[in-house]
Structure 1
Amino acid sequence: MADFLAAHPMTDCEAILDDFPDEQVMVTKLPKVWQMFFDGAARATGAGAGVIFITPQGDLLPYSFKLGMTCTNNEVEYNALIIRMDIASELGIKHLQIYGDSKLVINQVAMEFEARKLKLLPYCQKTQHLLVKFLNIEVKHIPRYENVKADALASLAAALSCLDRSPL
Structure 2
Amino acid sequence: MITYEPTKVVKGRVVVDFLAAHPVTDYKAIFDEFPDKQVMMTELPNVWQMFFDGAAPVTRAGVGVIFITPQGDLLPYSFTLGTVCTNNEAKYNALIIGMEITSELKIKALRIYGDSKLVINQLTIEFEIRKQELLPYCRRAQHILEQFLNVKIKHILRYENAKANALASLTITLSLSG
Normalising TM by the smaller chain, what interval?
A: 0.7 to 0.9
Quote the Cα distance in structure 2 between the aligned partners of 1:69 and 1:28. 46
Matched, 1:124 2:138: yes
Alignment of 1:1-168 (within 5 A): 21-22=33-34, 27-164=41-178
Structure 1 ranges of 4+ moved more than 6 A: none
Moved more, 141-150 or 107-116: 107-116
1:75 Cα deviation from its structure 2 partner: 0.4
Structure 2 unaligned blocks of 5 or more: 1-30
CA distance in 1, matches of 2:123, 2:88: 12
Name the Cα RMSD after superposition. Answer: 1.7
- Please say which structure displays the higher CA radius of gyration: 2
TM-score calculated relative to the size of structure 1:
0.81
SS of residue matched to 1:119? helix
Residue by residue over 1:69-101, the C-alpha shift from the partner in whole angstroms, topping out at 9 and shown as x without a partner, is 211110000001111111111110001100000
Opposite residue 163 of structure 1, the aligned amino acid is S
Any stretches of 5+ residues in structure 1 without a counterpart? 1-18
Higher relative contact order at CA 8 Å, sep ≥6: structure 1 or structure 2? 1
TM-score, with normalisation over the residues of structure 2? 0.77
